Structure 1
Amino acid sequence: MHELDSLTQGRPIAIVGAGLVGAGWALVFARAGLAVRIYDANPAISNASIPLIERQIADLTEFGLLSESAESILARLTVCDTLQQAVNGAAYVQESILERTDVKRALMLELDAIAGPDLIIGSSTSGIPASAFASELSISSRVIIAHPVNPPYLVPVVEIVPSPDTSSSVIAFTAALMEAVGQSVVHVRKEVPGFVLNRLQAVLLREAWALVEEGVATCEDIDKTVRDGLGWRWSFMGPFETIDLNAVGGVADYAQRLGPLYRGIADSRSHTEEWSPELIKTVEDQRRGFLAFDELEKRRAWRDRQLMAFSAQRRKDDQR
């Protein structure tokens, strides 16, 4: 807690947007020992966030992933009725509202009018650069992207993406804060749509959809290829380390041997077409054959518990 106290000077964290991502962020900060204020423009969403977090805490407790009681963590959470109440005196705001530039711009205008002179604002946006919604404001130098993977309290990576206006001190603060609350920080050095994570995911998804469209493989066989193949290695190492270990001479050897194959695959694709309604229906029909629509929420809960089991094992491995 000493490092966090030094960073935040004992001030709270504000969560603006209390859906699945926002509630997950609230748990990240509260679990780390920080006071958290939660606000959503829709009071029903704000009020639903606490029961959601209670369920998440119960599961985390079962897997031995918390070092203190549920009551202690929940006591740090406060639901606020107004944006002003949430951000007043806060050290940092984590915004997780609708993924639309105009909606985020409207919030930034509100924050510009009420934010204290040193309030730092992080956005959970999945791919919209901060310069698209936070430019030409008094707060512009204090706005930065802090993009998590959902749910952030289970998957630790967070992309830190400054705009050209973001100050170096804000970059340093946000990275230090995220590391102090247990996240794994990726520094994205310049603004690109989709940042790093979703650009990587986009390439895999684009090829997956194309393989279904061409009748090469079904959704389930493609999922098996990742789930029972690539994902086994990717669960504990990244693509560059993977190929570095997959050739006797390391990454340079791998590139020499298999570079032409990958170039040929890339040249065979233009990827200029959008996913057609017919293709989307094909994929939807295949997925619903494996998982009925009314089972989605149950399966999400199963996913989270799988991530908890994986997290518990990773902790044990890291301690060896």
Structure 2
Amino acid sequence: MATHAPESVAPEGVAPEDVRRVACVGAGVIGGGWVAHFLARGYDVTAWDPAPDAELRLRRLVDAAWPALTQLGLADGASRDRLTVTATLEEAVADAEFVQESAPEKLDLKRDLLARLDAATPPGVVIASSTSGYPMTDMQTDAGGAGRLVVGHPFNPPYLIPLVEVVGGVRTTAEAVAWAGRFYEVAGKSVITMDREVPGFIANRLQEALWREALHMVANGEATVKEIDDSITEGPGLRWAFMGPMLTFALAGGEGGMAHMLDHFGPSLKSPWTRLEAPELDKTLYDAVVSGCDEAAAGRTIADLVAERDQGVIDVLRATGRLPGGRKEGGK
């Protein structure tokens, strides 16, 4: 790990509550989801992506997300007309008061792009990366103004799933991390501000453990794709929508809580159930997972499934009283 000390410069831009213009660099599934979210929260958004058909795909994604966002409740002044797609990265960030980078997960690309963004973005403006795996320490190596670079890790789709994990690298200032965390809250997100870099962050670590187990069960013929998905949606997933795994297990201990749970079930932790090492993704497993998903889709298109997922998330958020708040109300 690099040994740089965090830089001492605090963000010089506007306060999180006063941001009006956001730049989104990278307009794929995640970047486009961020664009839709920020537009729905009433921001002006400039976007850039190097793909020749980026604007067409981006506007199509925003249009597809808009009905769900309308159900959630649009902020005052929210409009798809407030999106501008620029020809260059420099144009996109020229007047930005916050930048969200969502480029593909390639370390060299991230390093180069963050350095370019740092050079082109007005001084003091915080730049966040949507990376799902790389620590900011590894990505900020080529940026002169690395103190303002943070991770703002969302979950798909960013316009619906509230969580954002915020963390800096060794050269990131504490002020930049705090500013980013507050900005996301104002923008209607639920924020975990991490005090240290963790490989895979928090939620991805938990997701990946479940994903590995699922692949092993498919590979060994122990469960079908549909059985695995049903086991979550009809089982623990119903609890996890409002209570996490730790408190859920504490309740399994009855009146004795987690202490009784650990005393009673602790020995089973050594049972050879888990296969946390990733299985070999050979053609047999690949085909089984792909065909299993096709069967589980039962004729529904990707667009159908996206609409079903979005409506399901909205219903869960509504049922649990966690519909995101608008920017004008100042947060969640």
Percentage of identical aligned residues: 34
Give the superposition deviation at 1:51. Answer: 3.4
Check the 8 A contact 1:37/1:77 in 2, yes or no: yes
Q: Deviations over 1:20-57 (max 9, x none)?
A: 21121122222222221111112421333223213322
Check the 8 A contact 2:43/2:78 in 1, yes or no: no
Amino acid in structure 2 at the alignment position of 1:20: V
Which residue, 92, 103, 114 being the options, matches 1:97?
103
Q: Deviations over 1:161-185 (max 9, x none)?
A: 2111110001100100011111111
Unaligned runs of 5+ in 2: 1-13, 326-332
Structure-to-structure mapping, 1:112-127, within 5 angstroms = 112-127=118-133
Distance (whole Å) between structure 1 residues aligned to residue 242 and residue 276 of structure 2:
31
Q: Deviations over 1:262-319 (max 9, x none)?
A: 23246x6462643333222222222222336882332122211222222333338999
Which residue, 272, 277, 297 being the options, matches 1:271?
277
The answer for the alignment partner of 2:232 in structure 1 is 226
Q: Deviations over 1:41-85 (max 9, x none)?
A: 124213332232133223332x3x21457x742233222221111
- Give yes or no for the alignment of 1:48 onto 2:54: no
Which residue, 193, 205, 216 being the options, matches 1:210?
216
Check the 8 A contact 1:154/1:308 in 2, yes or no: yes
Structure-to-structure mapping, 1:249-260, within 5 angstroms = 249-260=256-267
Which residue, 16, 24, 28 being the options, matches 1:15?
24
Check the 8 A contact 2:46/2:85 in 1, yes or no: yes
Measured on the aligned residues, the alpha-carbon RMSD in Å equals: 2.5
Amino acid in structure 2 at the alignment position of 1:18: A
Answer with 200-209 or 302-311: which moved more: 302-311
Check the 8 A contact 1:163/1:191 in 2, yes or no: yes
Distance (whole Å) between structure 2 residues aligned to residue 100 and residue 91 of structure 1:
26
Check the 8 A contact 2:27/2:48 in 1, yes or no: yes
2:176 aligned counterpart, secondary structure:
helix
1:250 aligned counterpart, secondary structure:
helix
Give the superposition deviation at 1:95. Answer: 0.5
Distance (whole Å) between structure 2 residues aligned to residue 182 and residue 270 of structure 1:
35
Give the superposition deviation at 1:205. Answer: 1.0
Q: Deviations over 1:131-186 (max 9, x none)?
A: 22211421211111111011111110011121111100011001000111111111
2:171 aligned counterpart, secondary structure:
coil
Check the 8 A contact 1:47/1:79 in 2, yes or no: no
Does the C-alpha gap of structure 1 residues 278 and 298 become closer, same or farther in structure 2, counting only changes over 3 Å?
same
1:75 aligned counterpart, secondary structure:
helix
1:78 aligned counterpart, secondary structure:
strand
- Give yes or no for the alignment of 1:36 onto 2:42: no
Amino acid in structure 2 at the alignment position of 1:281: D
2:321 aligned counterpart, secondary structure:
helix
Q: Deviations over 1:185-244 (max 9, x none)?
A: 112332233111111111111111112222222222111111100101011110111112
Check the 8 A contact 1:60/1:308 in 2, yes or no: no
Check the 8 A contact 2:241/2:316 in 1, yes or no: no
**TM-score, with normalisation over the residues of structure 2?**
0.86
Question: Using CA pairs below 8 Å that are at least 6 residues apart, which structure has the higher relative contact order?
Answer: 2
Does the C-alpha gap of structure 1 residues 270 and 74 become closer, same or farther in structure 2, counting only changes over 3 Å?
closer
Does the C-alpha gap of structure 1 residues 317 and 198 become closer, same or farther in structure 2, counting only changes over 3 Å?
closer
**TM-score, with normalisation over the residues of structure 1?**
0.89
Give the number of equivalent residue pairs: 312
Which residue, 251, 259, 269 being the options, matches 1:262?
269
The answer for the alignment partner of 1:237 in structure 2 is 243
Distance (whole Å) between structure 2 residues aligned to residue 272 and residue 232 of structure 1:
26
Does the C-alpha gap of structure 1 residues 55 and 221 become closer, same or farther in structure 2, counting only changes over 3 Å?
closer
Distance (whole Å) between structure 2 residues aligned to residue 308 and residue 45 of structure 1:
28
Answer with 309-318 or 191-200: which moved more: 309-318
1:126 aligned counterpart, secondary structure:
coil
1:315 aligned counterpart, secondary structure:
coil
Higher helix share: 1
